[in-house]
Amino acid sequence: PRYQQLTMSSGGPGSRVAEQKPLVDKEDAITRLLTDIEVDIHEQDVETVHGSVHVTMFGTPRGNRPAILTYHDIGLNHKTCFNPLFNHEDMQEITQHFAVCHVDAPGQQDGAPSFQPGYMYPSMDQLSDMLPSILKQFGLKSVIGMGTGAGAYILTRFALNYPDMVEGLVLINVNSCAEGWMDWAATKISGWAHALPDMVISHLFGKEEIHSSHDLIHTYRQHIINDMNQNNLHLFVNSYNS
């Protein structure tokens, strides 16, 4: 195929590949969770075949050079999922040369209003079919996709269906049946309002991390409860789990 794929299994955003100098330190990720990069930023809602989607473009696309397109996991948006990584000093060499296009799944961006009753949330395949409209809107001929969890699956479908638009993929935790997710399902928690944060935490992190990294888990739990639109998150999780 035209694109190349790098897939890594991960227990959650806190997991990292062994390296001499990790790109994202856990404590640094907590303190810099919502920090923006000081570059030219353009945000807009892009209309697609399956509804509107919020997109944030960092930098200006350059000629035929592909942009980096990110897609986050459930319980996150582009800020909480990718800002700690792209704000790290080691990433500046990359962001100096590539525009970065962050896609927020419908209704997952900061301050998103609730969808109207009866709204049918797009399926995972439909979410991937929304991406060509985004590339067209920003004049992008091709992208390097970077996704985790639900976002990794969406980008995989996008690459399979539109291979000419994808130069490469970096995918983390693409398997929806990973250990953390199945551990949560086995608990059979009743009452969605209480179960939703626990389910997302179990999906994002492994058992060992949940029991040992209390500050990190608390930070993400508070983000899920206080910053995410619970109705919209519920719909996204249902789409991912269907």
Span 169-185, average pLDDT = 63
| 3-state SS track over 107-161 | CCCCCCCCCCCCCCCCCHHHHHHCHHHHHHHCCCCCEEEEEECHHHHHHHHHHHH
Q: At 63, which amino acid appears?
A: G
CB atoms within 10 A of CB 75: 27
pLDDT in tens, 85-139: 888 887 787 878 889 999 999 999 999 999 999 999 999 999 999 999 999 999 9
Per the model's pLDDT, the better-predicted residue between 183 and 153 turns out to be: 153
- Residue spans per domain, the chain: 26-241
Q: Do residues 46 and 122 make contact, with C-beta atoms less than 8 angstroms apart?
A: no
CB atoms within 10 A of CB 94: 12
Strand arrangement of the beta sheet that strand 67-71 belongs to: 4-8, 166-172, 143-148, 67-71, 100-104, 51-58, 41-48
pLDDT of residue 88: 80
Biggest CA–CA distance in the chain, Å, is 52
pLDDT of residue 137: 95
Beta strands 100-104 and 51-58 are antiparallel
pLDDT of residue 176: 52
Beta strands 4-8 and 166-172 are parallel
pTM here is: 0.77
The whole-angstrom separation of Cα 1 and Cα 37 is: 34
Instruction: Find all residues with CB under 8 Å of 5, minimum gap 6, and list them.
Output: 156, 159, 168, 169, 171
CA of 109: how far to CAs of 85, 91, 104, 218, in Å?
A: 18, 23, 6, 20
pLDDT of residue 218: 92
Secondary structure element (H or E) that encloses residue 99, with its range: none
Q: Is the pLDDT of residue 35 over 70?
A: no
Q: What is 26-241's CATH topology? A: Rossmann fold (3.40.50)
Q: Is the pLDDT of residue 78 over 60?
A: yes
The whole-angstrom separation of Cα 208 and Cα 193 is: 25
Which pLDDT band, with edges at 50, 70 and 90, does 22 fall under?
very low
Collapsing DSSP to helix, strand or coil, 22 comes out as coil
Q: Do residues 68 and 143 make contact, with C-beta atoms less than 8 angstroms apart?
A: yes
